[in-house]
Amino acid sequence: MRVLRAHAQGESSPDLTMPQFRALAFVGRNEGAMLSDVAAFLGLTPPAASKLVDGLVAARLLIREIGTGDRRRVALKLTAGGRRIYQRAVESAEQYLAEHLAKLQPDVRGEVLRAMQALRSIFDDPPEVRSTATGKKNTND
């Protein structure tokens, strides 16, 4: 992760900080996520997440939409520009990973894959989003 992060910092769009990019990427993976989902995933307090989103909205990479059912909720979505930056970063990271993983023998690569799955299973990666903020709650509530 450290190596990948260093790579991302070298590549990413000039004026976009790491926290901003993490928030952007989260919304990229979870279109319509609530603000509190962003806060929970990034480990931030709601005010901190709100301010972070402020910057992304000001940069025209994200938009806030009022929840259609529960008007307290805010649904976050990427703008066209936000999606462009997000996808470009994903592609860059994937290419970087692919280049390096190609150095491994196929059987070792398979072993790496199974190891990753094993780690994910025991560290209980929780679902990223509680709801889509577009109205009804989901069963996690």
Rule CB under 7 A: which residues touch DNA?
A: 17, 19-20, 34-36, 42-55, 64, 67, 69-74, 133
Q: How far is the CB of 116 from its own copies (least distance, A)?
A: 7
Dihedral angle, C-alpha 52, 47, 125, 4, nearest 10 °: 30
Q: Which residues of 51-89 are buried (b: 16+ CB within 10 A; e: fewer)?
A: ebbeebeebebbbeeebeeeeebbbbbbeeebbebbeeb
Give the one entry of its own copies, DNA, none that residue 129 binds, where binding means its C-beta sits below a cut-off of 5 to 8 angstroms depending on kind. Answer: none
What token pair was written down for 95?
């290419």
Phi, psi angle pair for 104, to nearest 5°:
-85, 150
Tell me the closest approach of the beta carbon of residue 5 to its own copies, in angstroms: 8
User: What is the SS3 assignment for 77?
Assistant: strand
Least CB distance to DNA at residue 78 (A):
16
From its own copies, DNA, none, which one binds at residue 8 (CB under 5 to 8 Å depending on kind)?
none
Please state, as a whole number, how many other Cβ atoms lie within 10 Å of the Cβ of residue 14.
4
Q: Could you say whether residue 11 binds its own copies (CB under 8 A)?
A: no
Q: Considering beta carbons, is residue 99 or 141 the nearer one to DNA? A: 141
Binding site for its own copies (CB under 8 A): 1, 3, 5-6, 9, 43, 100-101, 103-104, 108, 111-112, 114-116, 118-119, 122-125
